[in-house]
Amino acid sequence: MAGSANLGYPHRDVTMLLASSFVVVALVFCIATVLALFGVTHVSMSGAEAIERDGLAPGIHAPVWSLVDSAGEVVRSPPRTPLQLIMFTDHSLKSFPSVVDGLREVMAQERLEIVVLTRRRNELAEPVLRLIGLDGIPVLTGSPSLYAAYNVRVTPFAIFVDSAGRVRASSLVNHAWQVTKLLQLADLPLEPENLAPRGRFRRRTAGAGV
């Protein structure tokens, strides 16, 4: 009898082993599902559509600030000039030659003040601007909180602000034509039909119009 009773133990061990394996597989499946969902969410929040929602819409009042440049001069926003172009950049604009070309095209405008606003202190930003022929543009040290106030995550980003403190145009910029197009949009009256929706600029294919 004792010998026959022992025959049940191997069967019970196999059953327990199969049950444990099922639990492990279920846990792995659940973890994989959670990670997949997280990945989809991350992509949707950091993809092109999310970037298109960055910045501030035309007509919104921009943050008010005053910062001191390397020469000790106080730079303010809203500006005293009719328009102010705030270039948001985490790194040197030397990496974006087309954006530099766009800035060269618009910097001769007397009605326009251009400033470079970094997220954190960047000792190389001003020397590099002089090196690439953009000397005279003040480089200001901002902060992550100031970037957040402008809803800027990805750079280089351009925001035009008028003397009343209202946003006139706002977009991520990678090409010269985008800088000049933004200036054209900034000159439009702030009427309902001219308030630009998010995603005005999309990747332009060769030969396509602005």
pLDDT tens digits for 94-153? 889 999 999 999 998 889 999 999 999 888 788 888 788 888 899 999 999 999 999 999
Q: Tell me: the pLDDT tens digits for 28-66?
A: 455 544 443 333 333 333 444 545 679 999 999 999 999
| One domain, residues 92 and 40 | no
* Mean pLDDT, the chain, whole residue set: 77
Residue linked to tokens 């000039």: 81
CB count within 10 Å of CB 45 equals 9
Report yes or no on 199 lying in a domain: no
CB count within 10 Å of CB 172 equals 19
Q: Which residues contact 59 (CB under 8 A, 6 or more apart)?
A: 166, 167, 190, 195
- Helix/strand/coil for 11: helix
The yes-or-no verdict on residue 184 having pLDDT over 70 is: yes
Report yes or no on 145 lying in a domain: yes
If one counts the domains in the chain, the total is 2
| One domain, residues 132 and 36 | no
Q: Which amino acid is at 184?
A: Q
| One domain, residues 108 and 14 | no
Structural contact between residues 143 and 120, judged by C-beta atoms closer than 8 angstroms? yes
| One domain, residues 13 and 88 | no
Q: Which residues contact 101 (CB under 8 A, 6 or more apart)?
A: 176
| One domain, residues 150 and 169 | yes
Q: Which amino acid is at 160?
A: F
Write out the two tokens for 187: 């000159």
The answer to which of 12-16, 72-76, 127-131, 151-155 has the lowest mean pLDDT is 12-16
The yes-or-no verdict on residue 90 having pLDDT over 90 is: no
Which pTM value belongs to this model? Answer: 0.69
Cα torsion at 171, 177, 183, 187 (round to 10°)? -110
Which position has the higher pLDDT, 158 or 17? Answer: 158
| One domain, residues 168 and 91 | yes
Q: Which residues contact 110 (CB under 8 A, 6 or more apart)?
A: 81
Q: What is the pLDDT of residue 27?
A: 58
The C-alpha atoms of residue 141 and residue 129 are separated, in whole angstroms, by 15
Which position has the higher pLDDT, 124 or 166? Answer: 166
DSSP label of 198: T
| One domain, residues 32 and 117 | no
Q: What is the pLDDT of residue 37?
A: 36
Write out the two tokens for 53: 């929602």
Q: What is the pLDDT of residue 204?
A: 34
Q: What is the pLDDT of residue 66?
A: 97
The yes-or-no verdict on residue 11 having pLDDT over 60 is: no
> Range of 15's domain?
2-46
